[in-house]
Every structure is written in structure tokens, then in C-alpha cells.
Structure 1
Amino acid sequence: MKFLVLSLMWVALLIVPHHELKSAPLSSAAELQGRVLDAQTQEGIGYVYAHLDELNRSATSDRDGNFRFQNIPEGSYTLFLHRLGYRMARVRVEITAETQNKVQIFTIERQTFRSDDLIVTAADGMGAGLIEHASVKIKGNDLRREMGITLSQTLQNMTGFAERSLGPAPGRPIIRGLSGERVLILQDGIGTGDVSTTAADHSVTIEPLSAREIQIARGPAALVFGGNAVGGIVNVVNNTIPTSIPTSAGGSFGLHGQTVNEQLGGSFQYQHPFENAVLTLDLNARAGQDFSTPSGDITNTYIRTTSNAVGYSMLRPWGYAGLSASLFLSGYGIPPDPQGGHPNGVDIEMIRFQLAGRGERLLNHRHFYLMEAGFALTPYFHREIESNGSIGTEFAQNTASAFARFRQRGFWIFDSGLAGISADFTDYQVAGSRTPNSRRAGGALFAIQEFNAGRLHAEIGNRFEFSHAFPEERRISQVIGEIRPRSHAGLASSVTAVYNLTGDFYLGSTLLHSYRSPSLEELYSEGPHLAAFTFEIGNPELDSERGFSKELFLRNRGRTLDLELAVYRNYFWSYIFPQNTGRENIRFPDLFDWQFEQTEALFYGFELGANLRLSRFLSTGGNLSYTVGRRLADSDLDLETRNLPLIPPLSGTVYAEVRTGSLTLRPQLRFAADQNRPGAFESETDGWYAADLSLSWMRQTGSRLHTFSLNGQNLFNQEYFNHTSVVKEIFPEPGRNISLLYRMYF
């Protein structure tokens, strides 16, 4: 019934404003028409990705270089222009009623040396750092080169990132040693609705092949989506609900293959414009066999996935409104545990459907100029099948979420800002254990402001959250205690300040007071989870998790050197995590009891990234990341028990890149040091290195753009063990892999 009511409300929003607001005095609405030219030839350039940062609007130029944004409130904006083979351009544009029928000309230069696609925004004091702006963005050649079978594999070579895995198929990002609920994963700004935060065998329901770009945000920007994203927000952008109408129909077609698991995959994206509307189609599929390692194949690590979506948007003088429907189907294997649990492995089948709506409405208000609203309805189901065909565990989760945000003009000392409200509801059911069916309802109020004062740029944000968890039954469990409803409420806040020291150097700091309520799994879990090798024991007495994070960073963005150094300290008063007790479960002696605990904890470390352009054609660089995670309470704990589990060791990459014309060659070395600070019942891991080589090439034939990316990973077939893998004691990482990604834009 809740799903039906929300759907009917959204249909009403599509219909009513068009009738009532058609004659409304929207004098603040304007249009940006642009044409992108090659700086040398002055010819139009097709397939340029244009992004208005402050409004988070995007468009793609047609074959002649033309693009347009409709229904833009008058004002000053930052326009990013990105296209393969060209240097990214960042332009300040003024949009007024006078620009309504004028085509603005933009030029971009061919790229003969590396210009890093990990663009730092929201941190330069130039007004480009408002609210939804990402701290970093991955797109273009970087995205194609790092493309993996999962989102976490695609991100694992970024500074500060690692991958939590249980075999190659189920993986989730770890950022600065933090994972689970502390790293929020979104697709087009909407939660995935899966259960990937709860256990290592649960995969993220996002297909990286469909990504146009990936954004990572921290600090005040993250408070729009949650108060618990200490690690950060990962937003995969595929623009299923378009925010602008393209000047002509177009899209892309891609093929992807790799040798390490004999995988083949394909993708197809298409946009078709109508007079006042646009239709999008996004189709993706992949299938692979068991993964190979230097010591042989890893049994039962196959993957079969398809992800498909359709979207439709209508643009009117009052704004736009759109709907999308997506379906994600996946089947993959969990490798066997010869020491117990499931000696022949487990097969997992999952399905996720999502109906989402999003819209904007221009406002003629003294303080607010734009309202955004949206909703998502996400039924999710997965089951874990034992080797004898019986079903071990089944998960069913229905989530509903909605939000409204109001963008404001400047007032008092603030130049701009955003305020909003959000609500969510979760219905969670588990079969195959004594975990009670339960529900959770929650809501939040948030506000974020930014201001500039000379060389200083600052952002400040607050978010108040409340939630109520209620199981279907109240009882006393001899395992986890009293199962009863729980309510939590708290405030999260953050401030970021960046000062332009001189030229291209910036010094900044971020403070974050984080808050999150315990999840339903942390409160009420009670039973075996064979695919994760655990017997999970919840804790209904858990309090909210609160922490205080500090970060200091130095950045340089010059024509010769890009440099970023960051040091951080994340302190938690009440850190929630599953602790391996080392105790065999009485009912399932093949499994150890994993108890959700709450403790005082500290994470600290540093990150370093650099790119040096040595000539027009040659650049070199790399990154380095280091994190320590420890429990602070209980002074009688030994050193091993003080260490938190799944903390990545010192790791990094070193590369050189040669770029000439449309060809780019990049050799790279990935490495990690020994991890001699294992958590309780974890094993130490030795240091390792792996050599990679990538070659990318593009060619335009008529109105079509062809791109090729040939990549070799672990070329010397080194055997190594990833410390953040749950099965590192059993299986090494995949061996030598040759992959090819082809994409044609039309």
C-alpha cells in the first residue's frame, strides 16, 4: 500500500504542475545553449560530457558539438566539459534571460599530456563546491582502465580504497579502513536497497559498465544522504532519469571481456528526445566462469549478472519530472570452505527491482529558487543455496524512501545553501535462522551552507536523524537477549574550510561529528550464515554509534604537478562491529560465533597522491595509503584483540603514462606491505606486488567515436593474498588477466 500511495503521488506531481504552473511567472528560468569546438581546428566536437556542477545537471553534445540545458535559474554556474582525447575544461558561465536564444561557444584543447581525471572540486574557493559536488570524480580513461566486475574492484586502486571480498564476485569498498554502514553507496543519488552492508558474501547491486562517472564525497556534502558516512559517499552516475533533452538521438554500445574467468559482457545505452521529453534505455549483462589463480582455479566463483533500466523525463517551463524502472539479476558462487561451514561452496541468487522518481520545480521565492523531490521503491530478494540443492538462508527486504530539498540564494554571511527532509522505511525478513522479521522507519532534517571570504572557502552542515526499529515479535532469546523495539535519535555535523595559500596550493581541514543508529541486523541477528562462514549474534542493547573525525589536507593543482596529502583521525565513542569470538557454536560446530559488539575505537592514517607531468607526452605518479584501526577500551585486551579486523596494510601504486595523439600507454605497479597487525583470529599477510599495463586508443569514423582499452593485470602471475579478503587464509587473489573494453558512441 505504501508503494502504491507514493507512486500515485508522483504521477500527480507529473500532471498537476503542468496544468497549474503553465502560466506561472517563472522569470528566473533561462536556458543555456552551447557548442563545443576543437581549439585548433574550430570544428564541432561530439560526445562531450557537459556538467553544471551547482545544479548537478548533465548533458551530452551531439555530433556537431551542440548541447543545451533548459529551465536553469538565472545565476552564475561552473560548467565542466569532458571528452576523451581532450583536456577537461572548467568554465564559469552566466545564465540570464538575455542568453536565452544565444549559442555560447566553448573550446577545449587536445590532450597531449596527462590531465588527471580525478578532479578535486568543492575545495578551491571559486564557488564550485556546493552541496552535491564530489570530492573526487572518476571518468574517462581512468574509469575504463580500472573497470572491474564489481564496483569495489573498479575503485580498489584509488587512494585510500581497498576491497572487502569473499571471493571475486561479492565485493564492497573499504575507505580508510571503514566499511559497511560507514560507506554509503548510491546510484544517481539513490540508495541501492540491497543488503551488501550486512555480510561479506552479499554483493552490491550496481553494474559498473553502466557508469558515466563515479563520484566520491566526504564532509558536509555527505550529510545530504546520511550522518554515518565517515568513510564517504560513493555515487555511481548513469543519468537514467535525464535532466536535459539532447539535441538528437544517440547513445553507446560496449563489449567487455577478460581471460582470468573467461568472462564476456556487453552494454547498450540510448537516449531518444521528443519535443518536451526524453526516453533513456540502459542494458547491461556479463557472464564469467571460475577465477584462476597462480595455484589453480578457485572453485565456485562464477558470476552471471544483468542490469537493465528505462527512464523517462518531461521538461516543462516549471522544471522537470521523471521516472525510472530498473531490474538487477545476479547469480554467483561463494568458494568452498574446506575447514567447515560449506565444503562445496554456496550459490547465491538475487533480484532487485527499483522504481524511482525525481523532479525539480523552479520557485519564485525570496530565499529559495529551486525545489528537488524524489522517491524510490526497492523490493530486494536473495537466497543462498547449498551444494545439495537446499536453501540455507533467504533474505527479503522492501525499502521505500523519499526526499525534498530546497536550494537557496545567499543570506547573511552565506553565499548559497540547501535544506531538506528525507524519510525511509525498511521491511526486513530472514528465513533459515531465528532472526526475527523486523521493520525500521526513520527520517532526517538537514541543512548545508557555504560561503567565501577572499581566499577562504567554507562549508558547514548539520543533519538530525531519528529512527524506530520494531521486530514482529517480542521475546527473550537465550542467545542475544531481550528482543524489543528500539528508538534512536541524534545529530551529525560537519565543517570544511579551504584556504588558497598561493597560486595552485590549498590548505584545508574537515571536522565531522558522525551519528548512526544500529542496523536491524546488528540488533536482531540470530542464526547461521553459512555463506559467510559465521553464526551471527546480534545485540538488542546496542546504542547509537557516534564518532568525531578530523582531517588536514594540502592540495596543489598546477600545470606541472598535481599533489594531495591528507592525514586523518577518526575516533568513535561507540563503534559497532562483528567480533569473531573464536568460540564454536553449540548448534553448528563448524561455525564460529560472531557477536556484534560496541567499543571505543580509533582509526588514523595518511594518504598521498601525486602526478608529475615531465613533458608534453610523458607523466608519472602514484599514490600511497596507510591506516591503523584499534580498539581503545578494555585495557586487559592483548595486542591482537585490540586490532580491528580487515584493516588494509600500507599500499599504493606507481605508474608512468605516455600519451601521443589518440594513443595512451600506462605501465603500473601495485604493491602492499606486510600486515602484521591482524585482528582477533585473523592471520597476518605478507607484502606483495603486481605489475599492470594498459593501452587505450580511440578513433572517430564519421559521426561515430570508437574507444578501445586493453589492460593486463598481474602480468607476472604473482601469488598474493589480500588482507581485506575474508577467505585470505584459503585462497589467493586472481592471477594474470588480460581484458579488453570496446565502446562505440553514436
Structure 2
Amino acid sequence: MFRPAKLAIAVITVLSQATYVQAETLPADVNLERIEVRASGLKREVVEMAGPVSVLSGEELLRRSDVSIGETLKYEVGVHANYYGPVASRPVIRGLDGARVQVVHNGMGTGDVSREGPDHTITADAVTAQQIEVLRGPATLLYGSGAIGGVINVVDNRIPQRVPVQRETVLQTRYGTAAGDRSLSFAHDSGQGNLAWHADGSYRNGNDYRVPRYQNDEGDSSRRLQNSWSEHQVLNLGSSYVVEQGFVGVSIGKIKTEYGLPEGPSSEPAAGEYIKLNQQRLALASEYRPQQSNWQNLNFDLAYTDYDHAEFEEDEAGTEFLSKAWELRSSATYELPASWRGIFGYHAILRDYQALGDETFTPNTDTDSHALFMLHEKRFGPVKLEFGSRFERLTHQAYELTDDNGSRDLQQQFNLFSWSVGAVYQLQSEQQLTLAFSQAERAPAANELYANGIHIGTRSYEIGVAYQVAAESSGASILHDAALATAERANNLDLGWRGQFANVRTNINLFYNQIDNYAFLANLGFQIGGFAAYQYQQQDARLHGAEASISWQLTPEHQLTVLGDTVVARLRSGGYLPRVPSFRLGAEYEYRADNWAGQLGVTHYGKQSRLAENETATAGYTILEAGLNYYFDWQQQEVMAFAKVQNLTNRLGFVHSSFIKDDAPLPGRQLVLGLRLDF
């Protein structure tokens, strides 16, 4: 039988073989990327990492930057988006999302409630970021059990680590035609003496998105994704005292966002549900670098986040989510003469979560996590070995947990141990083989354990894993049983090859992930209170797949990049996991001249027919895009003007990993115009 996923792997293999032929005739004048990855803990470069990692920065980050982290990263190899409309779009890494993918801001958690529901947006912003790092595969050693699927680190300069030589200011504005989306952002860095300071902010406003005409089961059709409007405001201030031995700094930030929850076409348009979000964040960071010592640096980071958002229906607040979180990370990095290098640390998160209102589906919960971690590496000739471990104690304290027997308070504690080993083998100066194995444990999140009620955002009745559920004529019997919940354990194997063959750069990864007691939200096939019933269930699962990207510098002006990824996610007992992306193949051609550059890209998303129980298939689609950047000086200032056309053929596409895929198609044809000024 013809299988598109196998075709994707075959194409990737053929292309990788072709690079050898070209490598023999092209001059070797291009090196592997040497970009520092701050999320690695040891501030290693990409080429030093045993696990798969990619970094989006510079001009490429500017081109890809979108209204959410999920939309910004959805073209990165191995990364898709769950797409609850453009604003609430979380990254999906290798088929894993939600509570398994940790989004951090300069290494510290965002403090929002985006992991409690697909309709909740991530507060980390790509607009003023310097780079975004994507660690694919478990990254639990440094970031905890919530990173069992991967980590996305948004890096900016809100707490400066150096005093800039001269003042730096960036202004950026853009306009998108699909939603009349208007945005303006700025970032400013300056300093004097030992003091450095930073300020950044942004404003964005957009209407409902235009989409290709689509129709629902009731026969209603539309050319707009109704209720997909948004308004977003951000302001951040930071300052540091910097000396030769290190720095100490602080930042304060405020986010205010309002956005609608997409509702699909309707014959009777009305005011829909929307979310109002506010967040205040205070962060402190410090680093001390002892001189003439085996200790490279001592770091201390502290962040406090006060977050609240309310979900409105017909201008009446139905549910309000409140979260107050403290996070502390303290670490010490050493380097010994015998090529030993490593880091020790302590990491703690204290979170007070509340859900208020008549439509709450989770109880108020306090979650405390305390962990010790270590990571070490040593080089033996052409081989660099790395190994590490983490012990974490996580406690959930739920208040007024409700089931058919009434309500009560409950405390559950999880002792989690994770460890990993990895190796980087230098085949030749520009070729590397990488191998990494990790065993990572994760405690179910509070909503995965204790949810029991109507979740308006997902239009479902959501039930946690720690309940016994039985359908009845009047609805369902729901009884809590704490013994039903246990920690996940993921055994992940990664094999990678990255190489530079003259003007051809290749990066290929194969992975296999065996997850015991995997918690997933399953459709039970009946309704409760008029809403489809979904319950978190725990079963053993197997996920495996491949990722590849190949870039060929045809001439100094011309470059061709091909990428592809695929993942298969099965239950050990039979069947597939729900909402897992299908395979993807893409290519981008880029031309560069003295003061301008143009791009033309095409991405094909395959049909997803590997379906979980009570899940429907999603048709494949192909997206064509084009872009143009122009660089010039204006009154001795550097200016970049850019334009891009998204979904050039106005193709109708639905995202299989979206909880509301049938009601939320991707935006239609859109022209985005922008201007960036550096001075």
C-alpha cells in the first residue's frame, strides 16, 4: 500500500545522498553554524549538542515572526502548531504539545495558563526576541517534567548582560491584509558606566481573519474566521549593574491582551466568546564569574508572575483563571583541566492556581516543585560525551475537588527521576554523528488530573484521568479515584547526522519515543450536558519519526533548502493517538543581491488518516509563499523594508492537531508589509 510518510522519508534519503555527489565538486568554504544555545545550560553551540536543536534568529526570525509563538515556529523542522486560531497557537513538537512542551522566557517559565487549554495563548512574544531556541526531545534535566517533549526558549535582552558600546534602537511596523492586522514595536538598549538599561514594547490590533470560503455540517459558509480578532499590548523595562566579574539585573513587564475564540461559520452572526488577559512579571537575574578558579560562573534567577484571564460569553464573565507563580533557579558551572565541564543546580516552582465562576472545570490547585539537577560533559578525542540527571518532587494540593460523592480536598505527591546520556562523534571537520538516550518522568498536570466540567473554550465536557466514568441515561457517573493516576515515563532515543559538504549543509534526525502511562484527551463518544465528553486516559504509547533539512548554496546568490518531517504515534494496545500532525515536505528558494533578497517557498501537509477512536480524517493541503526584503540607508540609518505573500494560491487548509479543526481553517491569501529601522 502506498504510504505518504514512507514517501517523505524516501525523498529525504534521496536528497541526502545527492549532497555527497555535489560535495565532491564544490569548494569547502562554508562552516557548520556556530550559534550559542542558552537553553542548553552550559551555553553550548548548536554543533556541540547531542540532542536535536534549532535556532531562529536574525533576518529569518524577522521573516517568520507572527502573532503567536506557534505560528512563528510552525515551519521549523519537527515543529507544528495546534492552531486555535492565529493568536492561541501552541507549538507541537514531534506530535507532543500542551503540558509536555515547555515555553520559557530567558530560561524561566512564562507563568501563564496556556498549558491548561488549547484556547489559552502563550504570553511569550516573538516580536522583540533576539532568537528563539527549539530543543526537540526531552529537556527535563534543566526544565522539569513539563519539558518531556521539548523546550522552546525565547531569548531577549530585557535583563542586559553587558553595557552596549553605543545606543541601539529598533523600530518595527507591519500590516497584514487578511485581518487588517496592524502592529508597532520598539526595543531600546543603552547604558553608561556600569549601568545598562533596556526597554521594549509592542501594540497589535487585528480584525477577523479572511479565509477561503468554507462550509460547516449545517450548510453555513463564510469567508471570515468569525471571532478571530485580537488586540495585544506589551511594555517591558529592565536594568543591570555590570562589572568584569558578572552582573545583577532586574526587569518588570506588563501584558494586556484581548482576543476572540473562533466559532466557525454561522447563519446568525453574534457576539462570540472572548478572553481578556493581564499579566505582570518581575524578574531578577545575576551571574558571578570567579577569576582564576575552576568555577566558570554562578547564576541566580528569580521570577514572579501575576496572571489572570477571564473568558467572556455575551459580555458576561463565565470563568476566570488566576495564577501566581514564583520560580527560582540557582546553578554553578565548572570546568576542569582534564576537559571536564558541567553544571549543578537547584530549581523550584511554587504556583497558586485558581479557577473562578460558574463554568469552572478544574478545582483550585497549589503546585510546588523542588528539584536538584546536574549535567556534565567530557571530550575523548573525536568523541564528546555528556550525561546528567534530575530528581524532582512535585506536589499538587487540590481544593474542593468535586465528583458525584461531593467535594473534598486532596494532596498528591510525585517523585520524579530523569537521566540522559549522549555523544557527539566528529567524523571529519564538518561532519558529526549524534546519539542521545534519555529516560524522563512527568507528573500529570493539575487539569489532566482533576478536570471535571464544561470547558467552553474547547466546547467539551472535560474529565481528568483520576476519575471512573460510566455513561448513563441521565448523563454519566463520575467518581474520583486517585489510584488511577501515575507518572509518565518516556524512553527517548535520538540518532542524528549533521554535516557540511562543500556548499551543502545536511541535518537529519531519527527518533523513537516509548512513553509508559501516556496521558491523552480521548473522545468518549457520548455527551454530558449537551457537550461531547472527553477524558484524559493513560496508556502506553510509541512515537517514532524522522526530521531532515538540507540546504544547498548553489552560488553565492542562490540557495535551495528542502525539509521534511513525519511522526507516527500509536497506542501499545492498538490504534493511534489523537490530534497528531501528518507528514510534511517543503522547499524554499532564496536569491540574494547587494541590497535585496527574495524567497519562494512551498510546503505540503499530507492527509492525516491515522486516526484515534471517534476522530475524523483531515485532508492534505499545499501552501505557497513568497517574500522580498530590501535594505537601504535613510539619513544614515539602516532600514529594512519587507513584504511577503502567505497562502499565495488561497488554499483551504485545516490543521489536524487543532481541537476545533473543522471550524478554524488557516488564513487565506495575505499580503504582509513591514518596515524595520535600526539606529
Smaller-chain TM-score bracket: 0.7 to 0.9
Query: Normalising by structure 2, what TM-score?
Result: 0.86
Structure 2 residue 126 is matched with structure 1 residue 208: yes
**How many Å separate the matches in 1 of 2:434 and 2:266?**
49
Matches within 5 A, 1:308-707: 308-336=235-263, 345-363=272-290, 367-387=294-314, 389-410=315-336, 414-431=339-356, 432-433=359-360, 435-473=362-400, 477-478=403-404, 484-538=410-464, 539=466, 540=482, 541-585=484-528, 588-589=529-530, 591-633=531-573, 642-701=575-634, 703-707=636-640
What residue in structure 2 maps to residue 10 of structure 1? none
The separation in 2 between residues aligned to 1:407 and 1:133, in whole angstroms, is 20
Q: Distance in 1 between matches of 2:279 and 2:75?
A: 28
Q: Alpha-carbon deviation of 1:364?
A: 5.7
How much does 1:338 deviate? Answer: 7.1
**For the structure 1 residues 716 and 127, does the alpha-carbon distance in structure 2 shift closer, same or farther, using more than 3 Å as the test?**
closer
Q: Does the CA-based 8 Å contact 1:336-1:344 persist in structure 2?
A: no
* CA 1:337–1:734: 2 relative to 1, 3 Å: closer
Distance 1:676 1:649 in 2: 8
What TM-score, normalized to structure 1? 0.79
Q: Which residue does 2:116 correspond to in 1?
A: 198
Which residue in 2 is equivalent to 1:232? Answer: 150
Which secondary structure does the structure 2 equivalent of 1:301 belong to? coil
Q: CA deviation at 1:273?
A: 0.4
Contact 1:573 1:600 in 2 (8 A): yes
Report the residue type matching 2:92 in the other structure.
I
Structure 1 residues 343 and 287 mapped into 2: Cα distance closer, same or farther (>3 Å)?
closer
Displacement, 1:674? 1.1
Aligned to 1:300, the other structure's residue is in SS state coil
Which amino acid in the other structure matches residue 354 of structure 1? R
Letter of the structure 2 residue corresponding to residue 567 of structure 1: L
C-alpha distance after superposition, 1:449-499 (max 9, x if no partner): 1111111122211111111111234x6622899752100012111122111
In structure 2, how many angstroms separate the alpha carbons of the residues matched to 1:126 and 1:730? Answer: 43
Q: Is the 8 A contact 2:361 2:462 kept in 1?
A: no
- Structure 1 residues 595 and 614 mapped into 2: Cα distance closer, same or farther (>3 Å)? same
Aligned residue number for residue 470 of structure 2: none
Contact preservation (8 Å) 1:219, 1:511: no
1:721 and 1:479, CA in 2 relative to 1: closer, same or farther beyond 3 A?
farther
CA contact (8 A) 1:621 1:654 kept: yes
Deviations 1:249-273 (A, max 9, x none): 2211110111111100011111120
* Cα pair distance change 1:675/1:221, threshold 3 Å: closer
Are the counterparts in 2 of residues 220 and 495 from structure 1 also a CA contact under 8 Å? no
Letter in 2 for 1:543: T
2:116 is paired with a residue whose SS is: coil
CA 339–700 in structure 1, closer or farther in 2 if over 3 Å, else same: closer
Q: Identify which range, 360-369 or 715-724, moves more after superposition.
A: 360-369
Distance 1:407 1:121, change over 3 A: closer
Tell whether the 8 Å contact from 1:219 to 1:510 is kept in structure 2 after alignment. Answer: no
The residue type paired with residue 403 of structure 1 is R
Match of 1:31 in 2: none
- TM-fit CA distance, 1:689: 0.7
CA distance in 2, matches of 1:531, 1:649: 24
**1:38 paired residue number:** none
Q: Which moved more, 1:234-243 or 1:489-498?
A: 489-498
Query: 1:572 offset after TM fit, Å?
Result: 0.5
Q: Is the partner of 1:283 in helix, strand or coil?
A: strand
Report the AA paired with residue 351 of structure 2: T
- The answer (yes or no) to whether the contact 1:114–1:618 under 8 Å persists in 2 is no
Amino acid in structure 2 at the alignment position of 1:621: T
Summarize the Cα distance change of 1:606–1:423 in structure 2 as closer, same or farther, 3 Å threshold. Answer: same
The equivalent position to 1:720 in structure 2, one of 644, 653, 658, is: 653
* Structure 2 letter corresponding to 1:506: Q
Task: Give a deviation string over 1:674-723, Cα, whole Å, max 9, x none.
Answer: 11112232221111111110111212346421112211111111112221
Count of residues in correspondence between the two structures? 619
* Paired amino acid for 2:156: N
Greater Cα shift, 710-719 or 554-563: 554-563
Distance 2:451 2:30 in 1: 49
Give the stretch that moved more between structures: 573-582 or 545-554: 573-582
- 3-state DSSP of counterpart to 2:61: helix
CA shift digits 1:166-204 (9 cap, x unpaired): 222211000110111221101111110111112110010
CA contact (8 A) 2:106 2:154 kept: yes
Say if 1:127 and 1:719 are closer, same or farther in 2 by CA, change over 3 A.
closer
Give the partner amino acid of 2:93: I
Amino acid at match of 1:332: Y
Distance 1:733-1:195 versus aligned 2 partners, 3 A rule: same
**Within 5 A, what are the aligned runs for 1:161-180?**
161-180=79-98
How far apart are the structure 2 equivalents of 1:615 and 1:353? 49
Assess, with a 3 A threshold, how the Cα gap between structure 1 residues 330 and 745 changes in structure 2: closer, same or farther: same
Alpha-carbon distance between aligned partners in 2 of 1:191 and 1:238, rounded to the nearest angstrom:
14
Deviation at 1:533, TM superposition (A): 1.0
CA distance in 2, matches of 1:734, 1:115: 38
- Preserved CA contact (<8 Å) 1:117 1:140: no
Task: Identify the structure with bigger relative contact order (alpha carbons < 8 Å, sequence gap 6+).
Answer: 2
Flag the 1:144–1:270 CA change in 2: closer, same or farther, 3 A.
same
Note the 1:86-97 alignment, pairs <5 A.
none
Alignment of 1:143-182 (within 5 A): 143-182=61-100
- Contact 1:480–1:526 (Cα < 8 Å) also in 2: no
Letter in structure 2 aligned against 1:561: V
Paired amino acid for 1:155: L
* Percentage of pairs with the same residue: 26
Q: Cα RMSD between the aligned structures?
A: 2.7
Secondary structure of the corresponding residue to residue 115 of structure 2: coil
1:645 CA drift (Å): 1.2
* Alpha-carbon distance between aligned partners in 2 of 1:577 and 1:722, rounded to the nearest angstrom: 18
Question: Which whole-Å CA distance do the structure 1 matches of 2:43 and 2:348 have between them?
Answer: 33
Give unmatched runs, 5+ long, in structure 2. Answer: 1-28, 214-222, 467-481
Task: Give 1:238-257 correspondences, 5 Å limit.
Answer: 238-257=156-175
Say if 1:317 and 1:517 are closer, same or farther in 2 by CA, change over 3 A: same
Residue ranges of structure 1 left out of the alignment (5+ in a row): 1-112, 636-641
Most deviating of 356-365 and 234-243: 356-365
Q: 1:576 deviation in Å?
A: 1.2
Change (3 A) 1:116 1:198: farther
